[in-house]
Structures are given as structure tokens and as C-alpha cells.
Amino acid sequence: MAALENRPFVKMNGLGNEIVVLDLRDAPLAVPAQEARALARPQSLPFDQIMALYPPQTEGTRAFVRIINADGSESGACGNGTRCIALYEAGRTGADHMVFESVAGLLDCTVVPDGVTADMGVPHFGWHDIPLAGPVADTRAIELQAGPAEAPVLRGPAVVNVGNPHAIFWVENVEAVDLGRYGPELEHHPIFPERANISAAQVLSPDHIVLKVWERGVGLTRACGSAACAAAVSAARLGLTGRRVTVTLPGGDLLIDWREGDDHILMTGPAEFEFEGRLSADMLTAPAERPAGIGAA
């Protein structure tokens, strides 16, 4: 029997970033990596992240959140998923303000007319905090490139940790970049000991960025909230934009405000419910792992 069999789920999305919410606060158990991978199959319940809610560890918080990627690995942050669980909790309790906790810290969320505003915390720019494999002089632009050595397609990214490691490559035309080709190589580059989220970003104006993201453990995604935050703060550090910008992703727009004073990143954007149900053995077991006669096609 699969560990998660018969557990209720809620399917949601934030700008098309596909999220499965598992509320495990009443009966906590780990999410096995192999069950996450099986669940993410196109014929099962495809998702970018599972947001698994566990009993709170800190007074005043609603839940401790574990974030599981489609490949079964764990993530420290997911902005779109954070907005989804805030909307889920608001629907469950009627509250319009709540605080969650993850391995990356506290996640303060407020339901607003345009969706949810989530405090994504403070960005970290030190090479050891991202982390990188070794020291670099300036994390606003590191020595890294992709494509032909004589004519790189991507080069000199900014790097930052916003709960996850991020590398942002500045380009003239984001639509011309085949991130599906270069993303896997860069995600697994030796300079990133914990892998990294890879973004191609184009600055349209001092308050508008266009972004395409290859997400660590997921692949190309319609939206990545932490990547939007990473691009916004990196652009501001370079003087390319101000501290308040709209970030346009394939799934839609996020408003990112890198707050003066305490350097917290506020992300505002939509989230929505899709459907709910219960997990079945067929959804949680890949065909090669099933006992004979179970779930046969």
C-alpha cells in the first residue's frame, strides 16, 4: 500500500504553476520521493510542487510546510505555492492573514483583492549562502556561460538565494532563448553544489521585467515566484530597475516589492483552486513498481 494512499488533496495553481496541497496536520507522514515522482506523471496528477502541511513548530504559525518538487527532491521556497496554501487556509478558516514556516523561515501571507501578498523574506547574496562551490568576487555577475565558447548564448548571471539558489542571465530577447536546451546543463553545473533555478530575464523598463524559468527539480515552468523575486532584487542591485517591479512570466504577472528598510521581498499575485480528491494507489505507483494485476493498462 502506498504511504499516501487515500489521503485528501487539493489541486491549485499560481499563475499556472501547478500545486498539490496535502494537509497532513492531523496525521503527519513523510512524502516518499518515489510516490511524488509517480504522482507527477502526466497520466496521474501532474504538478510542479507539492505543498505538504505539517503541525506547526513555532507558536503563532499555521503549519510547517515541506515543499516537494516533481522529481521528488525538496525545495526551500515556492512563492506560487505559498500563495496557494494561504488561499487554501483562508478558505478553510476565513482568516485573511496567516504565517507559515518552512526550512527557509517564516512565510507571512495576507489575502488581498488581487490575490495574496507573501513576505518571501530577505535575499542572500554571499557565495556561501547561495551556495556556490567556491568564492567569487561579486555575485551580481559570476563567470558562467552556456552555448558555443566563441559565442555564448547566456553569460555572466547574477546569483542569489531566495529560499532556493537562483542564477539570472540578462538577455536582450527572452523569447529567443531556448532555456529548455540550456537549463538542464546549468541547473547541474558544478558551480552549484545544490543545483540552481535558471532564469533568462529581459528588462523592459525600470519597473518591468520579462522572465523565463528552468526550475530546479521541475524543468520549464509557467511561473516561479522565488525566481521572480530573485530577478527583481538582482535587477535592482545592478541599477537596471527600481525596487518595485512587475515581473511577467508565461503564466502572468507578479508584483515584486523589495522593501526599503528591512530588505524583505513582498510578492503579490493570484492563486486559484482547481479541484480536490483523494490519492489512489494507481496515482502513487509507477507502472514498473506495481504488483502484477494492479493498475494494468
Catalytic positions: 78, 224
Could you tell me if residue 174 is left (phi over 0), alpha (psi between -120 and 50 degrees) or otherwise beta? alpha
**Cα–Cα distance measured from residue 253 to residue 243, given in angstroms and rounded to the nearest whole number:** 16
Distance in angstroms (rounded) separating the CA atoms of residues 18 and 33: 18
The C-alpha cell that represents 208 in the structure block: 518591468
Cα 268 versus chain centre, distance: 14
End-to-end C-alpha distance for the chain, whole angstroms? 19
- State the cell numbers at 1: 500500500
| Residue partners of 64: CB distance under 8 A and separation at least 6 | 53, 54, 55, 56, 57, 58, 100, 101, 102
At CA 200, angle to CA 272 and CA 72, rounded to 5? 55
Q: Do 259 and 266 form a contact (C-beta atoms < 8 A)?
A: yes
Residues β-bridged to residue 258: 265
* Cβ–Cβ < 8 Å for 209, 247: yes
Single-letter residue type at 290: R
Given a contact cutoff of 8 angstroms between Cβ atoms, the answer to whether 80 and 96 are in contact is no
Angle at 235 between CA 109 and CA 185, to 5 degrees: 90
Residues 218 and 284: their CA atoms lie apart, in Å, by 18
Number of continuous H segments (helices) and E segments (strands) in the chain:
5, 19
